[in-house]
Amino acid sequence: MTTQDDDRNTVDVFSNSLRQHGQSFRALNWGSEEGQANRFRILCEIGLSDGDSVLDVGCGLGDLYAHLQSQGVAASYTGLDITPDMISTARQRFPDAEFREGSLLGTVEPSLAQVDYVLASGIFYLRRDRPFEHLQASVRRMFELCRKGLAFNCLSSWAGTASSDEYREDPAQCLEFCRTVSPWAVLRHDYHSGDFTIYLRREAMRL
């Protein structure tokens, strides 16, 4: 399994899933709509607010855009996804939002560079080829793109019920790596036993 195989597998899995389930949280492989929304809520708690620009990496069907609207957050939104069918469906659903097709680790067009926040929900669990190295490269890229900070989630190896071959990471090891990118790092393992979120800021929070 190579990085290219992983990318191809990701596109295959989500294209098939969209064909099978249609425009539903099931197409994104979430267990429930509440679980998906809960993760959005935690990501946004990094401090996303009115007037901020946000890049949603692995945007899927653009549900984070709908979430922001439902919460009344007037952020300028762009979604990026490696799966072409996800992007074309997201564009049909939300004609007013910006969507781009592509991989985070591919060539990112200049207009996507320098947004306030980069958020990513559910983009790591299918990786097979050196998944921690892939996560590290992804975090470095997200940090390059953000002015204020980034937030991402990942399945946690602290969960007692690991059974599938999905990629789970040790949250402490992940935090240790993230601290080498920015000292302003937060680990959250307080919303789901099998999942953690990390915030990385460019500057310390003003208290």
List residues near ligand SAM by CB under 6 A: 10, 14, 28-29, 36, 57-60, 63, 80-83, 86, 103-105, 121-123
Rounded least distance, CB 173 to ligand SAM, Å: 20
CB under 8 Å to 198, separation ≥6 — which residues?
151, 152, 153, 154, 171, 174, 175, 178, 185, 186, 187, 188
Q: Which is nearer to ligand SAM, 165 or 206 (CB)?
A: 165
Rounded least distance, CB 109 to ligand SAM, Å: 13
Rounded least distance, CB 25 to ligand SAM, Å: 7
Q: Which is nearer to ligand SAM, 78 or 83 (CB)?
A: 83
Q: Which is nearer to ligand SAM, 122 or 131 (CB)?
A: 122
Q: Which is nearer to ligand SAM, 33 or 203 (CB)?
A: 33
Cα 164 from Cα 161, distance rounded (Å): 9
Rounded least distance, CB 64 to ligand SAM, Å: 6
Q: Which is nearer to ligand SAM, 121 or 182 (CB)?
A: 121
Rounded least distance, CB 86 to ligand SAM, Å: 4
Q: Which is nearer to ligand SAM, 24 or 193 (CB)?
A: 24
Rounded least distance, CB 2 to ligand SAM, Å: 14
